[in-house]
Structure 1
Amino acid sequence: MAKMKFFYGPKTCALASRIALEEAGADYEPVKVDFATAEQTKPAFLAVNPKGRVPALVTDRGVLTENVAILAFVAQSHPDRKLAPLDDPHAFAEMQAFTSYLSSTVHVNHAHKHRGARWATEESSFLDMRAKVPETMAASFALIERDFLKGPWVMGEAYTVADAYLYTVSRWLEGDGVDVNRFPKVAAHMKAMEQRPAVKAALAGE
């Protein structure tokens, strides 16, 4: 596989895919997209990802976007690293269901704090959205704590790319007004993740 380019923004959800790339020992070049100057809206980046968002992974077969897709691709293209239950279709689908929940629900809950313009135009609507974030994020993590985080890792004893994604969104809790210690399994998961060399390497690149 040729060297890949990975477009990311610091402190964004792209951290999940970067952790997975590090766990896989993938051959990739990180390319920072400067959100402070709205680089994601400029023609050069839009030529890579017309959505104007990160992550984006340039492979020798084209560009992949969305964490759910990139995480699965990294796991499947580096099978020796055992980053997903590749030999068990049902377990793989369970993992995908979890990462899809993080993408479609938890991330959207979080986005209502700063991205209200995606859904409304009135300032009063933005205030309502921001006020709701602690409640919706806490509700999502209560569900994760109770039903989805098997422990110590998302899928149980085996670490997978889903753990990279859970860790990434768990890091948003404090800023969203939610005490992670309300969720002991999630808090323990965060601590375990922070000990992994791949996580340290990904964070150092932020």
Structure 2
Amino acid sequence: MQLYFSRHSVASTVGIALEEAGLEFEAVKVDFANGAQTKEPYTSLNPKARVPTLVHGENTMTEAGALLEYVADLAPDAGLRPSDPVQVARMREAMFYFASTMHVNHAHRQRGARWASLETSLDDMRKKVPENMAGCCAYVSEHMLQGPFVLGNQFSLADIYLYVICTWLQDDGVNLDDFPKIQDFIKMMESRASVRAVQERGMM
């Protein structure tokens, strides 16, 4: 397997999941600084010009949430996804929130050109990022982290997704001292061998 990534991106979620699953993969860096994601040969793999992209044999797949579920399917004994349907739904509820709300709020800091052109509009979006991300952190603290993990005492794909987003919070202007549950969650995740392995690969 080849996992295409850029540093500090959501692609590291897939790397962590692969490490948790004990699956071998090659991490291939896409140089966003030089716009490699917008040029061949990468656009032939992913015409969306984003990461992650996973190549497994003859199959090329994209989107972090889909790839996380794919890894869980490849390694069902790794415990990345619960067996109880309600818990699966709660895991996906969290992951969809991270993808559709937290990640989008974060992207307004550096990727505002996706939504607006005027510099005044871009500046206004950037200024809202600390407030919006802090609001998300409050929601996560109060309504999602019911235990050490999103699903209480059970580790899942949702924790991987949340952890990677948490690595962006300080740069987004969030004061983590306001969210001790998230601080504890970050420390716990950083003690996992899978997270350390992805850090050592230079993905984060």
TMscore range, shorter length: over 0.9
Alignment of 1:4-23 (within 5 A): 4-23=1-20
- Aligned residue for 2:61, secondary structure, equals strand
- Is 1:66 aligned with 2:63? yes
CA shift, 1:90, in A, is 2.0
Alignment correspondent of 1:89: 85
Mapped to 2, the partners of 1:26 and 1:179 lie a distance apart of: 36
* Residue 94 (structure 2) aligned to one of 94, 98, 102: 98
> Equivalent of 1:169, from 165, 178, 202?
165
List runs of 5+ in structure 1 lacking aligned partners: none
Aligned to 2:31: 34
Superposition TM-score, scaled by structure 2 size: 0.96
Q: Name which of structure 1's ranges 55-64 and 141-150 shifts more when overlaid on structure 2.
A: 55-64
Deviation at 1:60, TM superposition (A): 2.8
Q: Does 2:94 correspond to 1:79?
A: no
CA distance in structure 2 between the partners assigned to 1:20 and 1:179 by the alignment: 28
Residue 160 of structure 1 and its aligned partner are, at CA, apart by 1.1
Q: How does 1:88-167 map to 2 (within 5 A)?
A: 88-167=84-163
Deviation at 1:75, TM superposition (A): 1.2
The offset of 1:181, in angstroms, is 2.1
Indicate conservation of the 8 Å contact 1:55/1:67, yes or no. yes
Deviation of the 1:16 alpha carbon: 1.1
Secondary structure of the residue aligned to 1:30 is: strand
User: Hey, what does 1:199 align to over in structure 2?
Assistant: 195
Structure 1 range deviating more: 74-83 or 102-111: 74-83
SS in 2 for 1:158: coil
| TM-score of the superposed pair, with normalisation by structure 1 | 0.95
What is the CA–CA distance in structure 1 between the aligned matches of 2:191 and 2:141, rounded to whole Å? 21
- RMSD of equivalent CA atoms: 1.0
Count matched residues: 202
Give 3-state SS (helix, strand or coil) of 1:102's partner.
helix
